[in-house]
Amino acid sequence: MDYRKLGPSGAVVTAYCLGTMTFGAEADEAASHKLLDDYFAWGGNFIDTADVYSAGKSEEIIGRWLKARPTEARQTVVATKGRFPMGNGPNDIGLSRRHLGQALDDSLRRLGIDHIDLYQMHAWDALTPIEETLRFLDDAVRAGKIGYYGFSNYVGWHIAKAVEIAKAHGYTRPVTLQPQYNLLVRDIELEIVDACLDAGMGMLPWSPLGGGWLTGKYRRDEAPTGATRLGENPNRGSESYAPRNAQERTWAIIAAVEEIAKARGVTMAQVALAWTAARPAVTSVILGARTREQLADNLGAGELKLSEAEMDRLNEISAPQPAAYPYGESGRNQRHRKIEGGR
């Protein structure tokens, strides 16, 4: 079992985390509990949820599972998030002390616990001073309501500003960032990964399979149909079929993943997940499964270690392609300086 520290903290989690956005929506309570059982039977110990997942139902489903399985509950590292609206009032959203205080208490109630291991800010809030949010989180740590806190969907300057303010005021510092990250979406490497490395924060990538693209389920110029996410909604945000289908890079990456998978006798999903888990700053990769079969396949990535040559090939073919300075090749070269000569 591959255990890793939760960012710079002393807490230890498995390299693959069970994401629960499907709970209460695409998976009912019975199916969700089976997914949890399978994950913990595999050896996992890290669950990620959010208050907005199925309007609180995901947390409630997890809470009832924890209550029914006290032995597993003692070993479980629970992560949830707050920020998005949970009501219609003007204070039912955001990262203010007013909203987070209620959101945290509601999450604790739904989960049926008195302490959340990792409480994450689900997105940046431009209306609330960052000092207010950080002071609330520091107070929550000191009150014993949360063990650690982290961010989700923050960009580089958000991370740097928050870390420096926390240091300046002596507040508890963030330990993780949860970003979108996979072979098809590597833009965070332009600044966000470096910001996390500089702050000592661990990353918890979401959508490591690119909404199913990296499993090989979609075909070129064949609009998806059936019981898949894009089959049900082909215009699903950044995973939309038409824009990605039109990019040569998409199909070059998929072809490389497929070739490596066939050579290794594993699935494409396992190759894509193993690549993500091996990237710098990654603490734990979030798996989002609809079915037990999907979860079992994904967890198989825990037994796969890609060779240096395989990693190099995937890194090269999927490299971000910003052209404009300072993000292009010349800018990257200038940022990496080494001492030359003997002096």
pTM reported for the whole predicted model: 0.91
The tally of domains found in the chain comes to: 1
List Cβ<8 Å contacts ≥24 apart for 163-168. Answer: 163/199, 163/201, 165/130, 165/131, 165/134, 166/134, 166/138
| CATH number assigned to the domain comprising residue 258 | 3.20.20.100
Domain-embedded: residue 341: no
39 assigned to active site: no
The answer to whether position 324 is within a domain reads yes
Is position 342 within any domain? Answer: no
Instruction: Indicate whether 54 belongs to any domain.
Output: yes
- pLDDT at residue 229, as a whole number: 59
Q: Is 343 a domain residue?
A: no
Asked if residue 207 belongs to a domain, the reply is yes
Token duo for residue 252: 């070059």
What letters, b where the CB count within 10 A reaches 16 and e where it falls short, cover 89-116?
Answer: eeeebbbbeebbebbbebbbebbebeeb
Query: What is the rounded distance in angstroms from the CA atom of residue 38 to the CA atom of residue 16?
Result: 13
List the pLDDT tens digit at each of the 343 positions of the chain: 799 999 999 999 999 999 999 999 999 999 999 999 999 999 999 999 999 999 999 999 999 999 999 999 999 999 999 999 999 999 999 999 999 999 999 999 999 999 999 999 999 999 999 999 999 999 999 999 999 999 999 999 999 999 999 999 999 999 999 999 999 999 999 999 999 999 999 999 999 999 999 999 888 877 766 555 555 555 665 566 777 787 889 999 999 999 999 999 999 999 999 999 999 999 999 999 999 999 999 999 999 999 999 999 999 999 988 767 787 777 777 666 666 665 4
- Residue 308's pLDDT is 98
Residue-level pLDDT at 178 = 98
Which pLDDT belongs to residue 269?
98
Residue 163 sits in which domain range?
A: 3-335
Nearest Cα to Cα of residue 286 among 296, 300, 276: 276
* 340 falls within a domain: no
| Structure tokens, 69 | 């399985």
pLDDT of residue 342: 52
Q: Is residue 87 part of a domain?
A: yes
Please tell me which residue in 16, 53, 119, 218 is annotated as part of the active site. 53
